[in-house]
Amino acid sequence: MTTADHYSPIYRDELLGKVLPFWEKHSPDPEHGGYFTCLLRNGQVYDTDKMVWLQARQVWTFSMLYNRLEQKQEWLDMAMLGADFLEKHGRAPNGDWYFSLSRQGRPLVQPYNIFSDCFAAMAFGQLYLSTGEARYAETASATFRKILERRGNPKGIYNKAVPGGRALQGFSLPMILCNLCLELEPLLEPQLVEQTIDECIHTVMEVFFDPTTGLVLENVEPGGGLSDSFPGRLINPGHALEAMRFIIDLGARRGDAKLCRKAGQRILHMLDFGWDTTYGGLYYFLDRKGYPPEQLEWDQKLWWVHLEALEAVLKAYVQTKDSRLADWFLKLHHYSWPRFSEPEYGEWYGYLKREGTPLHTAKGGKWKGCFHVPRALWGCWQALEALRTS
């Protein structure tokens, strides 16, 4: 890619000059610990609830940058602010992670959502690498083991499906596990890591793939077949692209060029399928048969979808040098930056209407915190640097 020199500093400067400062300035709760994530365009706090997903993700972000980019004390302090809060308040008596807490740390919503646990494991895994504190390693690996135990029925008692009714498997957990086992590799036995990676690659690349249409699926029958139902028809292009990016990471780690090429092909196909040819951008949800998805937000354009797409095409390009991926990088870059980035206060908008204007101008909420923007800016910057020096 001849243009890596041009783009690399754009991603770096946005991360270091715009996005991290926004969260450093506006998110810390000095009184009770943890972070505010419900922030308006200018950083004003509009709600003080603390979602465990987002607390853990912010711990991970600052700790990861401390580990991989620079050992800045303020980044470690920022990570510790959330980690202390999570250690104090985040877990139910059985060790599962609550979904949300009040500003003070009072539990509000039960541990029905296993992704709280996934992000807590990521957070404490990174923090162990930052600090060498054995307690954090123990928290991360104990949480990881409980995730593996719960994965057959991740919602547990909160599962509303009738046994024997329509027991679909969901894509999210195997997808996250692809990433999580690389994240926690330093803490786990090598055999468990390799076994989990093998299972995840098989599940993500074979079980949740429809060879007829070439689409990555969100929900499949227990045996792996297509389900003609709302969840069974659902396509989430951003999810598929994020998962393919995790597969590229695994392929790169194993030196498996064939796996990287396969993931690259699927990235190209999902981009073609998910792209809005009228207004540009990637749809949030589609139905694989073209019917109306049940999600009323299906045609919106979400920040994380576009950031995951950017990181996926760059990382796939690094591995495969397929020029169509480079073309898509430019197309995605030129769609995303003018619409999502917001230079005045920093951090990106989250939700655009189909036509590309903001649905609202908040920078954070119940589902958007300090995670996808810095993670993908970092990932894109690193991929662009790899291209510059290759």
How many residues lie near a second copy (CB under 8 A)? 44
Per-residue tokens: 251: 């392929």
Task: Give the residue with the Cβ less far from a second copy, 34 or 379.
Answer: 34
- The token pair at 40 is 């308006």
Q: Are 334 and 18 in contact (CB under 8 A)?
A: no
Relative orientation angle of helices 52-68 and 372-388, to the nearest 10 degrees: 30
| 207-218: b (≥16 Cβ within 10 Å) or e | bbbeeeeebbbb
Per-residue x/- track, 167-206, a second copy (CB under 8 A)? ----------------------------------------
* Residues numbered 247-286 forming contacts with a second copy, rule: CB under 8 A: none
CA distance 388 to 390: 6
Does the protein bind a second copy through residue 226 (CB under 8 A)? no
Which one of residues 114, 176, 325, 362 is an interface residue with a second copy (CB under 8 A)? 362
Contacting residue, 32, 210, 214, 230, with a second copy by CB under 8 A: 230
Does residue 99 bind a second copy (CB under 8 A)?
yes
Cβ proximity to a second copy, 111 vs 264, nearer residue: 111
47 touches a second copy by CB under 8 A:
yes
Residue 87, burial from CB neighbour count under 10 angstroms (0-12, 13-18, 19+): middle
- Between 254 and 366, name the residue whose CB sits nearer to a second copy: 366
Q: Is residue 1 a contact point for a second copy (CB under 8 A)?
A: no
β-pairing verdict for 45-47 and 38-39: antiparallel
Tokens of 208: 């949740």
The secondary element (H helix, E strand) that includes residue 220 is strand 219-220
> For residue 53, how far is the Cα from the chain centroid?
11
The answer to whether 360 contacts a second copy (rule: CB under 8 A) is yes
Give the N- to C-terminal CA distance of the chain in Å, as an integer: 10
Which of 72, 88, 153, 158 forms a contact with a second copy (CB under 8 A)?
Answer: 158
**Residue 50: φ, ψ to 5°:** -120, 105
102 binds a second copy (CB under 8 A): yes
Does 296 contact a second copy by CB under 8 A? yes
φ, ψ for residue 100, nearest 5 deg? -150, 155
Considering only residues 25, 151, 289, 334, which one is a binding residue for a second copy as defined by CB under 8 A?
Answer: 289
Decide if 337 contacts 319 (C-beta within 8 A): no
- Candidates 6, 74, 161, 323: give the one binding a second copy (CB under 8 A): 161
Q: Among 6, 42, 206, 291, which residue sits at the site for a second copy (rule: CB under 8 A)? A: 291
Exposed/middle/buried for residue 265 (C-beta within 10 Å: 0-12, 13-18, 19+): middle
Contact criterion met (CB below 8 Å) for 277 and 347:
no
Residue 62 vs 99, nearer CB to a second copy: 99
| Interface characters, 313-352, with a second copy (x: CB under 8 A) | --------------------------------------x-
Contacting positions for a second copy (CB under 8 A): 38, 40, 46-47, 49, 98-99, 102, 106-110, 112, 157-158, 160-162, 164-166, 228-230, 289, 291-292, 294, 296-300, 351, 353-354, 359-362, 365-367
